[in-house]
Amino acid sequence: MSGHSKWANIKHRKGAQDAKRSKIFTKIIKEITVATKMGGPDQMSNPRLRTAILWAKSENMPGDNIQRAIKKGSGADESSNYEEILYEGFGPGNIAVLVECLTDNRKRTVSSIRTIFNKNHANLGAANSVQYLFDRKGRINIDRDKVNEEKLTEVAIEGGADDIITDNEEYFSILTEFSDLHAVSDFIEKAGIEIHESKPDLVPKSLTVIEDMKTAEQIIKLIDALEDDDDVQKTYTNFEISAEIANELNG
């Protein structure tokens, strides 16, 4: 099965220490609102909403917050007219960077994203300048302490998954075709396995290995700045930090 970037573990630890919960909740509320507005409030017939609710639960968002976001998306509230925008660019070490945004003010968002890139040794690119370097997939994360790896592998294969990634310390990651994400998720749940997170993902076709501490720190700073922006929902990159540098960062 395929390998996985050491960045996943570094990012997870840093996120657990530094993430501002209010910002995370704001992003989730936006996604639930947009998902409801686009596909209706019934999560059983609205896969995007189901994914957003799983995200909310994985971050321990209170149920009342989830219901308020669904209600907002179901109404005629003009403040929920968010626009989805994908920005592409190049980061330190010439890595590819994709930034998914939900915004009610395109001018504000593009100005903010451009400023973050400019201040962090990165450059915005044109449409499709790096997107072709990624495959659109589904990703299902399952806590390692809640399932036996052998059983999960068997269920995942039977359910139609493409791959299972096992080198993260916190969870197993199952990759699926994008169109199969919800079918595979349902199959896994029906097999009695609890899912921590189920989401669309952009998976790099190949990885750029970062073997320089300065470049690694610049990349981390760039991604932290992007993910701290209220309009940014998700970021995707195609780099892998070498084991030596990862150990230093973790130390």
Digit-coded pLDDT (tens) for 80-96: 688 999 999 999 999 99
List C-alpha distances in Å: 79 to 37, 66, 83, 122, 156. Answer: 12, 17, 11, 32, 40
Residue 198 β-bridge partners: 140
Digit-coded pLDDT (tens) for 141-191: 999 999 999 999 999 999 999 999 988 888 999 999 999 999 999 999 999
Evaluate whether 140 touches 206 at the Cβ level (below 8 Å).
Answer: no
* Calpha distance 91→166 (Å, rounded): 27
Does residue 79 surpass a pLDDT of 60? no
Does residue 4 surpass a pLDDT of 50? no
* Calpha distance 62→37 (Å, rounded): 21
With b for 16 or more beta-carbon neighbours within 10 A and e for fewer, the 49-73 pattern comes to: bbbbbbbbebeebeeeebeebbebb
Distance of CA 249 to the CA centre of its chain: 22
Does residue 6 surpass a pLDDT of 70? no
pLDDT the model gives residue 131: 95
List C-alpha distances in Å: 208 to 8, 129, 139. Answer: 14, 16, 21
Domain architecture of the chain: domains with CATH:
17-80 (1.10.10.200), 82-251 (3.30.70.980)
Sequence-distant (6+) residues with CB within 8 A of 128 are: 88
Digit-coded pLDDT (tens) for 35-59: 999 899 998 889 899 999 989 998 8
* Calpha distance 21→189 (Å, rounded): 27
Query: Using CB atoms within 10 A of its CB, is residue 23 exposed (0-12), middle (13-18) or buried (19+)?
Result: middle
Does residue 1 surpass a pLDDT of 80? no
- pTM for the complete prediction? 0.84
**pLDDT interval class at 21 (50, 70, 90):** confident
**pLDDT interval class at 8 (50, 70, 90):** low
Mean pLDDT of the chain: 88
Percent of all residues in the chain with a pLDDT value above 70, rounded to a whole number: 90
Task: Find the helix or strand (DSSP H, E) in which 156 lies.
Answer: helix 149-159
